[in-house]
Amino acid sequence: MPLGERGGWDKSESRYCGVETEFDDDVPRLLSFNLSSGGFDFVVAPLMDPTYRPSLMEVDSDSSHVLPFAGSDLVLSPSQWSSHVVGKISPWIDLDSEDEILRMDSETTLKQEIAWATHLSLQACLLPSPKGSSCANYARCVNQILQGLSNMQLWLRIPLLKSDDDSLDVDSDNLMDSWELWNSFRLICEHHSQLSLALDILSTLPSANSTGRWFGEPVRAAIIHTNSFLTNARGYPCLSKRHQKLISGFFNHSVQMVISGKPVHGIPGATIGSVANHIDENVNSGQRHPLRSYLDYVGYLYQRMDPLSEQERIELGYRDFLQAPLQPLMDNLEAQTYETFEKDSVKYMQYQRAICKALLDRVSDAEASTLTTVLMVVGAGRGPLVRASLQAAEETGRKLKVYAVEKNPNAVVTLHSLVKLEGWENVVTIVSSDMRLWNAPEKADILVSELLGSFGDNELSPECLDGAQSFLKQDGISIPSSYTSFIQPITASKIYNDVKSHKDVVHFETAYVVKLHSIAKLAPSKSVFTFNHPDYSTKKSNQRYKKLQFVIPRDTGSVMVHGFAGYFDATLYKDVHLGIEPSMATPNMFSWFPIFFPLRQPLCVQPGSPLEVHFWRCCGSSKVWYEWCVTSPWPSPIHNSNGRSYWVGL
C-alpha cells in the first residue's frame, strides 16, 4: 500500500516503497508475503537462479535448453508483473573482468535476463554496480541493449559514496566519488533517457553539496540499507537528521524507496535472516514481516512532510516541462493567457505598493485635492494594472487621470467593457495603439508597465519603454525603474534529454521557460544584464555583453552542467521589488517560471575548476536574440549565432 497521501493530492511515484528480495522461483508466494502481508508496493527480485552460469550449462543435444528463470510468465498477470516486480539482474555479472569466461558469461546472462524482463513487460530492471573503476565494456553492452529497448527503464545501481578531502584515514580503495563512475557510464551510453539510477544509501553520507548533485540526475530509486538505520529509545529503527533530509529531498523528486538487507533491530516478532528465508514460517504463523518497522518509519517520514501549497499544486503539471517564451510584442495574447497572469495577486499587490509610494512622492498632502497625476499604463492588457493604479489612488487620497494603452485589439474590447462596468469613464482613457507609435496628447507623471519576462528583458521591455519614454515627463517616474537578469549553472538531466530528443541544433539554441524541479543548482547565481528606466543617456544601446565565472564548491565533487537557469529581479519603485532570483524571490508569485539556456554538449566540471560563460544580448532591425557560449573548462560553440534558432520579434 502507498506510504500515504499528503492532503489527497500526491500521486507521485515516491508514494511507493519496495523491498529487495532474494531469488525465489515461487513468485506469487513472494508477492503475497511482501505485498499483501508486508505492506510493500513492489519487490526488487532476481529473475534468474543465482547459481546459473552459461559456461557451466550442459546442453543435451536431444532436449531444448531451458534457462532457470523465476517462474513462468503465466504465474502473474501482465499488470502484476508490470506494477509489482522490478527485475534484479544477477549481481555476480562483471563485464569488465580480466577473466574472459566470466566476462562472456556476464554478457550472455545480462542479455538473457533483459530479454526475459522485456517479455514480462517489466517497467524497470536493476543493474548491478560496476565492479571497478573501469566500466567501458559493461556500459557498451548496456548501450547496445538500450538501442533496442522498448519502454523499460534500466536502473544502474550506484553506491552514494564520495570521500571528503579531510578523510585521509579512510582506506585508499574507498577514496572514490561514485558520481564519477555514474558519469563515465552514462557518457558511454550517450545520456540515454532510459538509463537511470538507483542509489544505495549507506550509513555514512557525503557532504550536502555532494549529495545535492544527484537531484539533477535521473534517480528513480533510493535503496536504504537496514544497517543505515539507527535505533530509537523503544528499539525501533530511525534515521539520522542528515539521512532524513536526504530522503525528504528524494520524496520531493518522485524517487521511490526500496528497503534492503536483514532486520538488524531488536523488533519483537522479527528474526535475523533474509526476508526470503522467512516467507514460509511467517506466512504460516501470521507473523509480522521482518522489515515492516523499516517500512513504517519510511512511511512516517513521508507523511510528516509539509503538504504542497496551492501554488505548488497548480505548478505540478509544469515541472520540468519545456515551453517557448511568450512574444507579446509580436503576438497578441489569448484570453486564457491573460486570465492566468491576472490571478497572480501578489504581483499586482507589489505594483499597487509601488504606485502608492510614487503618488505620495509626486503629490504632497497639501496638493492632494487639487493636483491630478497623469498615469499611463502601457501594455494595459485586460486592465489589472489599471485597477491597481486606481486602488493606489484611493488608498493615498490622490487624484488620478489614467491612460490605458494597449496594442491588442481583442484586449481593447475587454478594456472598454471593464471601464463601463466599473464606471471609470471620467478617469480612464483607452488608447488602442502600440506604445512605441502613439502620439500622446500630454506627458505622463508616472509610466507603469508589466513587460518583464523570465530573464527580465527577454520580452523586449527595454525596446518598448524606450519608445514610451517620449511621453514621460523629464522628472517622471517609471514603474519598474530597473531590472537585472541572472544566470546559474545547473544539472538538469531530464530537461537535457527532452531537448536532445528533438535531434537538432535548433532546440539546443532555444531558451525555454520551464518550472525547474529535478535539477541541481551548482553555484550561486550571478547578475548578467541591467536596464534602467527612464534612460536619458545619449549613447544608450540595448545590446549587452557579459563574461561570468562560476566556481563549483570543492566538497561538491565533479558535476555535469547541462545549461543555465535564468532569472530576474526588478525594482518597481524605491524599495518595492519583485522577481524570481532564488535568493530574493518574491514569495507566492507565479507569473514567471525561470528560463533555461541549454548547452549542446553538457560539460563535466571538476571541483575547484572555473566555469566561464559568455552571454550576449544582440539587437537587429526586426529582432532581438541571445547568444551564449562556455570558454572554460573548454570552449563550446557559440549558441544561436545571428539568432538563427531563437529570437524575439520587434
Q: Which residues are catalytic?
A: 450, 459
Q: Check whether 589 is labelled as a binding-site residue.
A: no
Q: What is 27-96 written as a DSSP string?
A: HHHHHIIIIIIT--SEEEEESB-TT--GGG----TTS-----BSS-GGGS-HHHHHHHEEEE--TT--TT
Helical pair 384-396 and 409-422, crossing angle rounded to 10 deg: 30
CA nearest 602: which of 40, 108, 186? 186
CA nearest 579: which of 350, 359, 381, 315? 350
Q: Check whether 347 is labelled as a binding-site residue.
A: yes
What's the rounded Cα separation, in Å, for the pair 223 and 256? Answer: 9
Q: Check whether 406 is labelled as a binding-site residue.
A: yes
Q: Check whether 457 is labelled as a binding-site residue.
A: no
**Element spanning 415, H or E:** helix 409-422
CA nearest 134: which of 104, 94, 172? 94
What's the rounded Cα separation, in Å, for the pair 2 and 13? Answer: 9
What's the rounded Cα separation, in Å, for the pair 470 and 463? Answer: 12
> Rounded to the nearest 5°, which phi and psi values hold at 509?
-110, 20
Q: Check whether 162 is labelled as a binding-site residue.
A: no
What's the rounded Cα separation, in Å, for the pair 572 and 478? Answer: 8
Q: What is 68-87 written as a DSSP string?
A: -BSS-GGGS-HHHHHHHEEE
What's the rounded Cα separation, in Å, for the pair 544 and 100? Answer: 59
Bridge partners, 447 (sequence order): 376, 478
What's the rounded Cα separation, in Å, for the pair 601 and 499? Answer: 11
Distances (CA, A) of 622 to 379, 439, 512, 542, 649: 20, 22, 21, 14, 6
Q: Check whether 434 is labelled as a binding-site residue.
A: yes
| Binding region | 338, 347-348, 406, 434-435
| Binding region for S-adenosyl-L-methionine | 338, 347-348, 406, 434-435
